[in-house]
Structure formats: C-alpha cells, structure tokens
Amino acid sequence: EHIREGIEAGAYYYLTKPIQGAILQSIVKSAIRDFNLKISLLKKIKEGENVFRLLRDGEFYFKTIVEGKGLAINLANTAGIPEAGIGLNELFINAVEHGNLGITYDEKTLLVNNNIWENEVSCLQALPENRHKSVKVCFHTEPDSITVTIEDQGKGFNFDKYLRLDEKRVFDTHGRGIITAVHYLSSLTYTPPGNKIIIKFNPKNNRTRL
C-alpha cells in the first residue's frame, strides 16, 4: 500500500530490507543518474535560444538518443515549458532503443546492470539494418494547446503495461520512462500497435516539477 501511494506521488525508486549490496548500488546509481539528467535538461532548456519559439508547425527526424535530446530541448523552448523537455526526452529514448533498435525490457535490464547499455545502443545503431531508421516527430500549435506526435519504425509494444509503474517493477534499475513522461505531460495517448504516440498539453496549465 505504501509503495503504491509512493508511486502515485512520483517516487519511482524504492528500497526494502533485506537488500543485496549490488542491487542497492544499482538502484541508487540509477536514481542519481535520472535526477541529474532532469536537472541538466532543465538547465539547458532555460539557457537555450528562444528562436524556436517562433515555430508553429514542424516535422523532424532524428536517429540517435543524443539528437533526440537536442530536439526535446528545442521543442520545450518552443513551447515555453521546461519540464516538457524531460517528458519528451524520455519518450524519444524509448522510440530509439525499444522501437527502432528492438531492445526488450529484459535485455535493457541486463545491459543497465552490467553498465554496457550505451555501448550496446551504439553497436546496434551501426548495424546495416538499423542505420537508416529514424524517429519522426510532428509539432503543431494551437492558440491554447500544443500537440506532439512521435512515431518510430519499430513493431510496437504492449503500451498499457507501462502506463503505470507496477509494484513488481519498482525495484528495477530502469523502466520509468513512460511514467516520467506522464508526470510531466498533460495528455499521452498511444495508438496500436504502440509505435506512435500523441501528446497534448496546455502551456498555461504546466508548472516545473521535479
């Protein structure tokens, strides 16, 4: 019950006793990494150029996680909502690693636990069958709302399973990307088979949250 309430309040990492030293180290390391990433993104967004705020509609394509991070920062600047960059970046990462590269949840667990996730992503992207793959992002503004559509070239996935953080996964070192996005974005809707997501948010109703 306490874990469920914590998840609903935004606490996505938990430790319970007894716990193995290796697991403790991995979970703490993951929590620190995620927090530092959020702080870094917010800082870059606030320091970024505001020329993108002139943008009303746009279509973008990116291939790497680094490119996706840059796009998330620019789109957050366009929207004038720093925290939107955190949510978008999480979804962009998912589109690359799980969508285009086909890395499963269990595979990422092993990669993260062995500290080889970034290397494996780079290796997979270098393969001939993956070099051409990109993530399509459409950005559209209305007077009172913004819509962002993200579409990868993957086969899709059971998105319903990840819209809430299951208590069974709360001790994993990853798997919080979609939950984080839900926390920072007003509306998030996947379309079957799961390789396309539509995000809507109202700038006036958003406030920076950590």
What is the per-residue pLDDT for 208?
42
Across 36-43, average pLDDT: 69
- CA atoms in the 13 A half-sphere facing the CB of 47: 7
Distance separating alpha carbons of residues 124 and 131, to the nearest angstrom: 9
Distance separating alpha carbons of residues 208 and 195, to the nearest angstrom: 28
Distance separating alpha carbons of residues 125 and 122, to the nearest angstrom: 5
pLDDT of residue 60 exceeding 60 = yes
Q: For 131, which DSSP code?
A: T
Across 158-166, average pLDDT: 76
- Tally helices (H) and strands (E) across the chain: 7, 5
pLDDT of residue 203 exceeding 90 = no
Give the best-scoring range by mean pLDDT among 157-166, 187-196, 200-209: 187-196
Bridge partners of 188, per DSSP, are 199
196 or 55, which is more confident: 196
Across 182-205, average pLDDT: 84
Structural domain spans, the chain: 2-205
What is the per-residue pLDDT for 136?
98
Residues 2-205, CATH architecture: 2-Layer Sandwich (3.30)
For residue 81, what are the CA distances in angstroms to 37, 89, 175? 17, 13, 24
pLDDT of residue 159 exceeding 80 = yes
Distance separating alpha carbons of residues 171 and 27, to the nearest angstrom: 7
pLDDT tens readout for residues 123-139: 999 999 999 999 999 99
